[in-house]
Amino acid sequence: MGEAIVITSGKGGVGKTTTSANLGTALALQGKKVCLIDTDIGLRNLDVILGLENRIIYDLVDVIEGRCKVQQALVKDKRFDDGLFLLPAAQTTDKNAVNPEQMKTLITELKRDYDYILIDCPAGIEQGFKNAISGADRAIVVTTPEISAVRDADRIIGLLENEDIEPPKLIINRIRRHLMNNGDSLDVNDITTHLSIDLLGIILDDENVISSSNKGEPVVMDPSNPAAIGYRNIARRILGESVPLMSVDKGKTGFFGKLKAIFSR
């Protein structure tokens, strides 16, 4: 019996889809059988980021409405030997085409065959959000070190806490080292104290995330990339390993830096 994890944020553009793609890939790299579900009906993206757009035949709404079996709609990622599958969202209809009960049934069915079901949630708190969280056992809230994203995350956490799922965990995405170190953006500590939930991991901002997404190849495939390391660490934490948190002010502290830090205290 697998576990269903919804990836949500409230605000759009903070990296839900990128996080879903990369965590799914990272879990598949760890040898787990993963199914990604794109619930952003009408505005699907997850297929593009995974480079699976051209292989789509059926979609989520086809499955829900009984036009095909789940197995027929699942798109296999050939880079992983039976490890990573995608259930794409429909593009021609809207979020009201599906209801939470149907999602729950679908996810329960998928949990029998997969270790992890990652549900990519659409932005907002309306029908699409309700559908996405309905079948989830756990939730991951993605935010960025921006006040607007943190406010929306707070709202989402409040809604999640009223649901029958485990307390949500936090990912702080797109951290810019110099901004955070200069105090020009919220720091990791501020955000976690404000939201008072467990931190699952942080992702440093990196240009390659965008370029690799454009190529349809999640950045997590490159083991040396700082953002990829962040995603891999999170995947290991999901699997239950204890991995220390990446340091944000890495690269600043040489011998003199440390000396300076002592005197500037």
| Shortest separation between residue 154's beta carbon and another protein, angstroms | 4
Nearer to another protein by Cβ, of 185 and 212: the residue is 185
Q: How far is the CB of 171 from another protein (least distance, A)?
A: 18
* The residue type at 89: A
Give ∠ CA 22-216-73 in degrees, rounded to 5. Answer: 80
In the bound state with another protein, the residue whose beta carbon lies nearer, of 13 and 158, is 158
Q: Any idea what DSSP says for residue 230?
A: H
Which residues touch 221 (CB under 8 Å, ≥6 apart)? 25, 29, 79, 212, 228
Supply the minimum distance, in Å, between the C-beta of residue 2 and another protein. Answer: 30
Closest to another protein by CB, 33 or 151: 151
Q: How far is the CB of 155 from another protein (least distance, A)?
A: 4
**C-beta of 157 vs 200, nearer to another protein:** 157
Least gap, CB of 151 to another protein (angstroms):
6
Q: Which residues of 166-192 are buried (b: 16+ CB within 10 A; e: fewer)?
A: eebbbbbbbbbbeebeeeebbbbeebe
Torsion sign (Cα): 176, 177, 182, 188: positive
Tokens at 8, concatenated: 């949500």
By beta-carbon proximity to another protein, the closer residue of 155 and 215 is 155
Q: Which residues lie near another protein (CB under 8 A)?
A: 151-152, 154-155, 157-159, 161, 194, 196
